Amino acid sequence: MDLKQFEYVLTVMEEKNFSRAAKRLFISQPSLSQYISRLENQLGFEIFDRSTVPLTLTYEGELYVETALKVIEMFDNLNRRIRESSQLKAGRLNLGLTPSKASNTLPVVLPVFKEKYPGIELNITEATSFQLENMLMDGKVDLCMMNLPIQNKNIAYEPIISEKLFLAAPPDFVSPYEKPAGSDGYPMIELKYLRDENFILMHPEQRIRQISDSTFLSAGIRPKVVMETGSIDTALRLSASGAGFSFVPESSARFSGLAKPPKYYSISEGFSWTLVVAYKNNSASNKLRDAFIQTVRSVI
């Protein structure tokens, strides 16, 4: 929309005279008169009553000016909001997270991000990694905090940190095959010695389940799955109660807050997953996205 027409009409209305209005607009009086006449022909009604001295608005002209002022205000607000958004003073970020990230990572990152960017509105959605990938592609979320691997090749990501995964065992579990603690402070055990034990695993579409299944396959065993859950915290607490073995990330192990936690084991030095901030591939450069990623990286 060309706002020049509003500027010309409003200036004539204020001056009540084409000559004075033309001087304010730095154009000739004939050019201004012709412009207004063409505009009136396009609209199908006269804006100004030229029979009066000074010029006055027709009834239709009053409606036009009323609307013009509203449109100008809307454009001013739009420009202000775009300017604030570009300066990260305002805006909205639709963030998707897996449940484990919502309970362990977000509470650490969010206060720092809100302190830096108090005007940014955050909408939080919790879902499985599989669901988050679909939500990214559908535009329902802008960013996701999740773990590799990512299945969809149209999703890009920024790696944040690699986190070890541990085996959570019932507190009273004892094995003659247990090895001394490694560099992470936890004893080690090979999965092949646990083929007859009960396991509590995540649902198949969750990343930690996919990593667990791959690990079982490499160990050549088929686990006895007695329960599936969508919550790492639930699995951890069930292991602590003696219900079976589960796989948990280091952050869950260290910050569970349980009075009687499960017994933790390392499976191998390379048993880990990588936290990433993911977004739709080939999406436009985004200052807000970059600011969030930088905040997560600095905090984590």
Residue 280 above 70 pLDDT? yes
Backbone angles phi, psi at 47, to 5 degrees: -85, -40
Residue 136 above 60 pLDDT? yes
Note the pLDDT of residue 227.
95
CATH number of 162-273: 3.40.190.290
CA neighbor of 84 nearest in space, from 56, 112, 57, 119:
119
Residue 204 above 80 pLDDT? yes
Pick the CATH number of 91-160+274-299 from 3.10.129.10, 3.40.190.10, 3.20.20.240, 3.40.50.300: 3.40.190.10
Query: Mean of the pLDDT values across residues 226-230?
Result: 93
The residue with tokens 């609307």 is 67
Confidence of residue 244 (pLDDT cuts 50, 70, 90): very high
Confidence of residue 149 (pLDDT cuts 50, 70, 90): confident
For domain 4-86, which architecture applies? Orthogonal Bundle (1.10)
| pLDDT digits 0-9 by tens, 6-54 | 989 999 999 999 999 999 999 999 999 999 999 999 999 999 999 988 9
In the chain, domain spans: 4-86, 91-160+274-299, 162-273
CA neighbor of 263 nearest in space, from 281, 276, 244:
244
The model's pTM: 0.61
Query: Mean of the pLDDT values across residues 77-86?
Result: 66
Residue length, the chain?
A: 300
Residue 1 above 60 pLDDT? no
**To 10 degrees, the CA torsion angle through 277, 279, 281, 284?**
-120
Note the pLDDT of residue 270.
72
Q: Which two tokens stand for residue 158?
A: 């920024």
Helix (H, G, I), strand (E, B) or coil at 16: coil
Note the pLDDT of residue 253.
80
CA atoms of 191 and 55, how far apart (whole Å): 91
Note the pLDDT of residue 81.
66
| pLDDT digits 0-9 by tens, 152-170 | 899 999 999 888 999 999 9
Residue 234 above 60 pLDDT? yes
Residue 190 CB-density burial (10 A; 0-12 exposed, 13-18 middle, 19+ buried): middle
> Given this chain, do its domains 4-86 and 91-160+274-299 carry the same CATH topology?
no
Strands 56-57 and 48-49: antiparallel
Q: How many CB atoms sit inside 10 A of residue 111's CB?
A: 11
Query: Mean of the pLDDT values across residues 113-133?
Result: 89
